[in-house]
Amino acid sequence: MSERLRAVSGQVIALGVALLMGAIIILMVGESPVHVFMTLLRGAFGDQEKIAGTLLQTTPILICGVAACIGLRGGMFNVGIEGQLFLGGFAAAWVGFTFSLPTGIHTLAALALAVAAGAAWVAIPAYFRARYNTNEVVSTILSNYIAVLLTSYFTIFLFKRPGGWSETPPILATAYLPEIFAFSRLNWGLFIGLLLAVGVALVFRYTSWGYGVTMVGSAPKFAEYGGVNVKRQGFVVLLLSGAVGGLAGGVETLGVHHRFMEGFAPGFGFDGLIAALLANGSPVATIVTALFFGALRSGSLLLEVDTTASREIITVIQALIILSVSAQVLVRRRGDSQAGERRWKF
Partner 1 sequence: MEILDKLINIALIAATLRTTAPILLVALGGSFTTKAGIFNIGLEGQMLAGAFFAVLGSIWTGSAFAGVACGVAAALAFALAFAVLVVTFRANEVVVGLALNILAGGMTISLMKAIFGTRGSIVGHGIVGLPKVQIPGAQALLGSWAPLVSGFTPIVYVAFIAVPLLVLFYNRTRLGLYIRVVGEKPEAAEALGISITRVRYIASLLCGLLAGLAGAHLSLGYITMFTENMSSGRGFMAVAILIFSNGDPLKVLAGCLLFGFADAFSLRLQTFGFPSYLVLTVPYVVALTALFALSYRARPKIIKETLASMQKLLSTDRNSVPADKNPQ
Closest contact distance (angstroms) between CB of 66 and partner 1 is 18
33 vs 36: CA distance, rounded Å: 5
What is the DSSP secondary-structure string of 101-148? --TTHHHHHHHHHHHHHHHHHHHHHHHHHHHH---HHHHHHHHHHHHH
Angle subtended at Cα 35 by Cα 34 and Cα 39, rounded to the nearest 5 degrees: 115
Q: How far is the CB of 133 from partner 1 (least distance, A)?
A: 7
Whose Cβ is closer to partner 1: residue 57's or residue 187's? 57
Q: Which of 138, 173, 195, 202 binds partner 1 (CB under 8 A)?
A: 138
As measured in angstroms, the least distance from the Cβ of 8 to partner 1 is 19
Task: Report the sign of the C-alpha dihedral through residues 296, 301, 306, 311, in that order.
Answer: positive
20 is a contact residue toward partner 1 (CB under 8 A): no
Q: Which stretch binds partner 1 (CB under 8 A): 97-105, 149-157, 242-250, 286-294?
A: 149-157
Provide, rounded to whole angstroms, the least separation between the CB of residue 197 and partner 1. Answer: 21
177 part of the interface to partner 1, by CB under 8 A:
no
174 binds partner 1 (CB under 8 A): no
Residue 259: what residue type? R
179 SS3 class? strand
Nearest distance from residue 48's CB to partner 1, in Å? Answer: 29
Q: How many residues bind partner 1 (CB under 8 A)?
A: 53
How far apart are CB 334 and partner 1 at their closest, in Å?
Answer: 12
Residue from the set 13, 137, 198, 301 that interacts with partner 1 by CB under 8 A: 137
Which of 169, 197, 163, 191 is CA-nearest to residue 255?
Answer: 191
DSSP-assigned states of every residue in 226-263? TT--HHHHHHHHHHHHHHHHHHHHHHHIIIIISS-BTT
How far apart are alpha carbons 199 and 231 in whole angstroms? 24
Q: List interacting residues with partner 1 (CB under 8 A).
A: 25, 28-30, 77, 79, 124, 128, 132-135, 137-139, 141-143, 145-146, 149-150, 152-153, 156-157, 270, 273-274, 277, 308-310, 312-316, 318-320, 322-323, 326-327, 329-330, 337, 340-341, 343-345
